[in-house]
Amino acid sequence: MRVLLLRHAETDWNRERRFQGWRDVPLSATGREQAESAARLLATTRIDAVWSSPLARARDTAAIIAAPHRLAVQESEAFREMGFGDWEGLTRDEVRERFPEAHRAWAEAPHEATWPGAETLAAVRARALAGLEALRAAHTGQTICLVSHGITGRLLILEALGLGPDRLWSFQLSSTGISELEFRDDWTTLHRMNSLIHLADGAVA
Q: What is the pLDDT of residues 10-44, one digit of tens each?
A: 999 999 999 999 999 999 999 999 999 999 999 99
H runs (alpha helix) in the chain = 12-15, 29-42, 56-66, 92-98, 100-108, 121-138, 150-161
Provide the annotated active-site residues.
8, 81
| In 67-182, alpha helices (H) | 92-98, 100-108, 121-138, 150-161
Residue 204 banded pLDDT, cuts 50, 70, 90: very low
pTM score = 0.95
Per-residue confidence (pLDDT) for residue 205, from 0 to 100: 37
Spatial separation of the C-alpha atoms in residues 106 and 87, rounded to whole Å: 12
Task: Output the CA angle 52-57-179, nearest 5 degrees.
Answer: 55
Provide, rounded to the nearest whole percent, the portion of the chain with pLDDT above 90: 96
CA dihedral angle for residue 10, residue 12, residue 13, residue 16, rounded to 10 degrees: 110
- Select from 40, 12, 59 the least CA-distant residue to 201: 40
65-99, pLDDT tens digit by residue? 999 999 999 999 999 999 999 999 999 999 999 99
Q: Residue 200's pLDDT is what?
A: 84
**Domains of the chain (ranges, CATH numbers):** 2-199 (3.40.50.1240)
Q: Tell me, what's the pLDDT at 201?
A: 61
Between 138 and 204, name the one with better pLDDT: 138
Mean pLDDT of 56-61: 98
186 pLDDT tier (thresholds 50, 70, 90): confident
Q: What mean pLDDT value characterizes the chain?
A: 96
Average confidence (pLDDT) over 160-189: 95
Kindly tell me if the per-residue pLDDT of 51 is higher than 90: yes
